[in-house]
Structure 1
């Protein structure tokens, strides 16, 4: 059996295959839930002690085992797997070296709490999220803000259903937050929702019918591709260059394919990190406008540059549905996104969103609204920008062949292919196969710079990747 490639982002919609292997049957009928992770042992090649350690690491990475969880004693593991005690001792020793577990005589072995000081274990270059903001404590800010919200708000009201597109205060805060890319926006055009994936799913549902054709970037966000496929849509990939969608290719497809919709990411495109310049943005909008084909603009990273470029929706407010999330600019745990619709379209989009996901979490919406109004969100964004720029500089030094903007959260390593040896060298990677739209070709790796807790861990991972690329 082949060793799994163990890429986190392979398909977030099929969790049983998320790490490139099928979940194995339970091991020898163990009734102990703390030993359920042992079903993964058969998915790995190599000596038994290493397979046990890799299975444990996979369970921690997937979230089946979490910090503080106690795992069975070594003799119990030996009995369940059918190996000798010495083999399990070596496995636990390897897991300890990787920073996965810690043990105390008389108490047992526990999953170790990871901190920013950890320098061992897997370096995650696959999960695209913002780094911890420079000079600020998210935990402290969350405690302070949630405490203030609960002190002035009736919890019963806060925890009730909140139908509609969001309160006027939330929509007004969203309009203010997006002003650097959109300019002045009427809050009536803003819909508040629980994350960009929910927003994209609702827009695809709202704007298309099964059998319709949509144009997407040749390498595109996997969540969009999966949603379109489930909707029964025909996906047509559009050629890309160093600025993203290529105008001549788009013009041909608009003429020959009769698409219902164009979907694209104009800033720090995922995964290639390409950014459309002002002239390219104007050209894409002009072609879509002339063809009468609306655009869904996934602007997850639009606020990251210190000088944000105008969004496509600012150039064509009547034809662009704009999606902006706090997950890539503040923190993924906030799970809040804003949809800015063409005039008169917000209530229809809100109704579709309500049918899919009811509402965003009221407490998180209240936190983000308070942060925007009080200037905390702007400080967080500034801190994320500082740390992201420092990490991008590090990537330019250690991985000079990678491409991407100076403020991007990820870079693209063209031509590179994720290999099983990357996992053995402590790297979690995601390759072009995850992002390819139908008909697209080419290889590469998206290197995410924000997931590693510290720059030193990121540097270690980039050096390993550089050495792997050379070999």
Structure 2
């Protein structure tokens, strides 16, 4: 192969692996890596295909196939008479403040979400009566949609009857429907730091939030048993896999102990489980350990795309199925038909698993990057966020100000506080920046912020 010239938009050719599949696929992979890591920017013009073929000493057809594959992944686009250009990212995170505050799945590695969505939507519209598609549909989803939901949940829940699965318009609607079943004024037990959406719902529904002590393994089962005896709560809220915000994943023994404590106290478990499918081998859900006592909620927004706004809700076995379905209907009426049809098609046809695998690859790469830049950060290798402990005396307001001065949006512990006694730290989301290079620079900014304020004399 010829020596690659030093012009910026041709340097990516040096990334071409010497082995690992057909040459056109390796070319497309090299281009994808250059875009992902920020070597190629949106709007960069690529060398003409014949130029690339001459530089590499390969047949023009190979390069044509590589460019076509990159176009199918959503990496490039062509303009007649002008050439081929790197596509603009959906989120222009290269300019202005970098958002490390919003929990998002990262862009799928080596796969075009836009292309997949266009293809599936077009197929649905071609084979479906649009008037019926866009009409009102049964709350909780059709049987076919519930069957797809049961298949999606199987790696976490095991085999579950499709009739038990309810399709909800997002996890927040599912949580609202479940918590609305609790008596007004009742107690909801959570960890000391908890997802802010639950705190907001508790306020709206008149529920009293009671913080249960937690340790490095998650909520303390013995403390939960004591609290249940004292408070007689309506429910306990748990996120067993990559807890938001502390990123703790409960082990199997901790899950069993919490399930048994709730069963002994006669308390409902609300299991919010948005991240389990990011794991190749997820631990058993609490709903599989205490199926008669657990409401299981799993959204696709945190492992595929937030724009899908689809979640699956599985009520406990027994008489709660009917009231849960009625509550969900009152809260959300029905999920959006087109998005539900897209998700159902993806699950049936295997596209959802391929998309999930692409998100997993990128999530692991970003988590490894975070481990390199912030070795003190905590979180699973598959996680889309990490937790960084801060000294108790560090003031959240000043942390925000210093972060803003460095062009960063961060979330501190106060946003998650269920009570006055809680750990201090930062939740750092890894999925927001479109490129790993942008994420690395942002994480280096966080490391600089922490290092600049590490002396005892500085209180932030």
Say yes or no: TM over 0.5: yes
Report what 2:415 is aligned to: 434
Structure 2 residue 242 is the aligned partner of structure 1 residue 268? yes
Deviations 1:242-276 (A, max 9, x none): 12111121121111111110101000000000011
**1:421 equivalent in structure 2:** 402
Does 2:218 align with 1:252?
Answer: no
- Paired residues for 1:157-236 under 5 Å: 157-206=132-181, 208-236=182-210
Cα shift readout 1:434-461 (whole Å, capped 9, x = no counterpart): 1000243231110000001100000000
* Alpha-carbon shift at residue 419 of structure 1 (Å): 2.9
Deviation at 1:342, TM superposition (A): 1.6
Deviations 1:263-320 (A, max 9, x none): 0100000000001100000000011011111100000111111111100001111110
Hey, which bits of structure 1, 4+ residues long, moved more than 4 A? Answer: 113-118
Quick one: distance in 1 between partners of 2:407 and 2:123?
Answer: 42
1:7-406 to 2 correspondences below 5 Å: 119-206=94-181, 208-344=182-318, 345-406=320-381
Counterpart-to-counterpart distance in 1, 2:153 and 2:413: 31
Distance 1:321 1:356 in 2: 16
Q: Which runs of 5+ in 1 are unaligned?
A: 1-112
Residue pair 1:135, 1:383 contacting (<8 A) in 2 also: yes
User: How has the CA–CA distance of structure 1 residues 391 and 152 changed in structure 2, closer, same or farther, with 3 Å as cutoff?
Assistant: same
CA displacement at 1:118 relative to structure 2: 5.6
Q: Aligned partners of 1:316, 1:335: CA distance in 2, in Å?
A: 27
CA distance in 2, matches of 1:191, 1:457: 39
Which residue does the alignment assign to 1:107?
none
| TM-superposed deviation, 1:164 | 2.6
CA distance in 2, matches of 1:442, 1:299: 22
In the other structure, the counterpart of 1:77 is: none
Give 3-state SS (helix, strand or coil) of 1:450's partner.
Answer: coil
User: Where in structure 2 are there 5+ consecutive unaligned residues?
Assistant: 1-87, 453-460
1:330-379 alpha-carbon deviations (Å, 9 max, x no partner):
00000000001122433321211111111110000000000000000000
Spell out, residue by residue over 1:207-235, the C-alpha distance to the aligned partner (whole angstroms, 9 max, x if none). x1111111011100000111011111111
The corresponding residue for 2:33 is none
Partner of 1:178: helix, strand, or coil? helix
Give the 3 Å change call, closer, same or farther, for CA 314–458 of structure 1 in structure 2. Answer: same
User: Which of the numbers 439, 446, 452 marks the counterpart of 1:458?
Assistant: 439
Aligned residue for 2:16? none
How many angstroms does 1:119 deviate by?
3.1
- Count of matched residue pairs: 358
Local SS of the residue matching 1:271 = coil
Corresponding position of 2:63: none
| In structure 1, distance between residues paired with 2:149 and 2:122 | 22
In 1: Cα distance, 2:378 partner to 2:360 partner: 18
Q: 3-state DSSP class of the match of 1:303?
A: helix
Which residue number in structure 1 is paired with residue 14 of structure 2? Answer: none
Question: Residue 175 of structure 1 aligns to a residue in which SS?
Answer: helix
- Decide whether the 8 Å contact of 1:237 with 1:439 is kept in 2: no
1:126 touches 1:430 (CA, 8 Å); kept in 2?
yes
Q: Partners of 2:146 and 2:93 in 1: how far apart? A: 40
Q: Deviations over 1:390-440 (max 9, x none)?
A: 000000000111111111110001116433021011100011011000243
Where 1:300 maps in the other structure, the secondary structure is: coil
What is the root-mean-square deviation of aligned Cα atoms in Å? 1.3
Matching residue of 1:53: none
Indicate conservation of the 8 Å contact 1:298/1:324, yes or no.
Answer: yes
